[in-house]
C-alpha cells in the first residue's frame, strides 16, 4: 500500500491520507474518535457485515443463557414460554400493557424480546433468514442504517402484535426485524424502479410460508415489521443528500446496539428481583 494512503470504509477504495472525503464515493471519513471505535469494532466483528454479525451473536448468546437457565436443551419445536425465556427478555402482554410474567411494566422488553427464541427450530429458521437478508441490506445501506431498520422494524412489529392479538400473548424472536430488512430492500429497489424488488418479494413469501409450516408464527409482527421496513427503505432511497445523514445514522446505530445489550441485562436484572 502506498505510504500515507487510506482505504474508504464504505467502498474499500484507496484515497490520499489527507482526504476528508472518499474521492470515489463521496463518503466522509470518520474523525479520530469515530475512526478508533470503527477500528476496534472491525477488529472484533470484521469489516464485512458487522451489524449482522453482532445481532446474530447476541441471539445465540441469549439462547445459550436460556438453555443454561433451563438446565437442558429445549425441544426442536417451540415450547411454552418458561421462566428462562421470561428472565432473558421474552415479552408478554396483559391489559394492553407490556409486562413480564411477574406483572411488572418493563417496556425495554419490546427490544430484548427480539433476541429470545423458544426452540432450536425457531432460532435456526430465524438466523438463516437473518444472515441472508441482513447481509443484503448491509451491502445496500451500510451497517448503521441496517441496524436501525432491523431494530425499529422489530420493535414496531411487536407493537403491531399487541394491537392485533390483544392481552395475554407472549411473544419473541427476531422475525419482525427480519421481515423489516426484507421490506427495506423491496422499498429501496422499488424507489429506484428496479424490477428486482419482485425477486426479493418472492423470497419473503417463501420465508413466510416456510415459517408458517415449520413453527407457530407471530403473523402480525411479521406484517408490521415488513410494512415499517418497506417505508424506511423507500424513504432512505429517496433522500436527496444521504451522506449528510451518515453521522446521525452512525450514532443511532451504535446507540441501538448498546440498548439491545442493555435491554437483555435489564430483563434479567428485574426478573431476578421479582423472583
Domains of the chain, earliest start first:
46-274 (1.20.1540.10)
CB distance 171 to 91 below 8 Å: yes
Return the SS3 of 45: helix
Mean pLDDT of the 171-198 span? 93
Grid cell 446521525 in the structure block, residue: 248
Euclidean distance between CA atoms 148 and 274, whole angstroms: 32
- pLDDT-derived band of residue 43, with 50, 70 and 90 as boundaries? very low
State the Cα torsion 170-175-176-178 to the nearest 10°.
Answer: 160
Handedness of CA 9, 15, 20, 25 (dihedral sign): negative
pTM of structure = 0.78
Mean pLDDT of the 165-186 span? 87
Handedness of CA 258, 260, 263, 268 (dihedral sign): negative
Average pLDDT, the chain: 80
Amino acid at each position: 500500500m502506498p505510504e500515507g494512503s487510506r482505504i474508504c470504509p464504505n467502498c474499500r477504495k484507496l484515497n490520499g491520507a489527507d482526504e476528508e472525503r472518499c474521492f470515489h464515493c463521496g463518503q466522509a471519513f470518520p474523525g479520530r474518535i469515530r475512526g478508533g471505535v470503527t477500528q476496534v469494532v472491525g477488529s472484533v466483528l470484521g469489516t464485512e457485515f458487522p451489524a449482522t454479525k453482532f445481532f446474530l451473536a447476541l441471539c445465540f448468546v441469549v439462547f445459550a443463557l436460556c438453555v443454561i437457565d433451563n438446565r437442558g436443551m429445549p425441544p426442536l419445536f417451540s415450547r411454552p414460554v418458561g421462566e428462562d425465556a421470561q428472565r432473558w427478555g421474552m415479552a408478554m402482554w396483559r391489559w394492553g400493557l407490556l409486562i413480564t410474567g411477574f406483572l411488572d411494566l418493563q417496556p425495554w422488553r419490546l427490544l430484548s424480546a427480539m433476541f429470545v427464541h423458544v426452540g432450536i427450530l425457531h432460532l435456526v429458521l430465524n438466523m438463516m433468514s437473518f444472515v441472508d437478508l441482513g447481509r443484503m441490506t448491509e451491502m445496500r445501506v451500510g451497517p448503521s442504517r441496517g441496524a436501525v431498520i432491523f431494530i425499529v422494524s422489530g420493535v414496531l412489529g411487536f407493537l403491531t402484535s399487541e394491537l392485533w392479538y390483544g392481552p395475554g400473548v407472549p411473544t419473541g424472536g427476531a422475525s419482525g426485524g427480519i421481515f423489516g430488512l426484507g421490506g427495506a430492500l423491496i422499498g429501496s429497489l422499488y424507489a429506484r424502479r428496479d424490477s428486482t424488488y419482485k425477486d426479493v418479494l418472492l423470497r419473503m413469501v417463501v420465508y413466510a410460508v416456510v415459517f408458517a409450516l415449520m413453527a407457530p408464527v407471530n403473523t402480525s409482527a411479521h406484517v408490521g415489521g415488513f410494512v415499517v421496513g418497506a417505508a424506511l427503505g423507500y424513504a432512505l432511497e429517496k433522500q436527496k443528500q444521504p451522506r449528510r445523514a451518515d453521522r446521525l445514522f452512525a450514532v443511532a446505530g451504535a446507540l441501538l446496539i448498546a440498548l439491545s445489550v442493555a435491554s437483555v441485562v435489564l430483563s434479567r436484572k428485574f426478573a431476578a428481583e421479582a423472583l
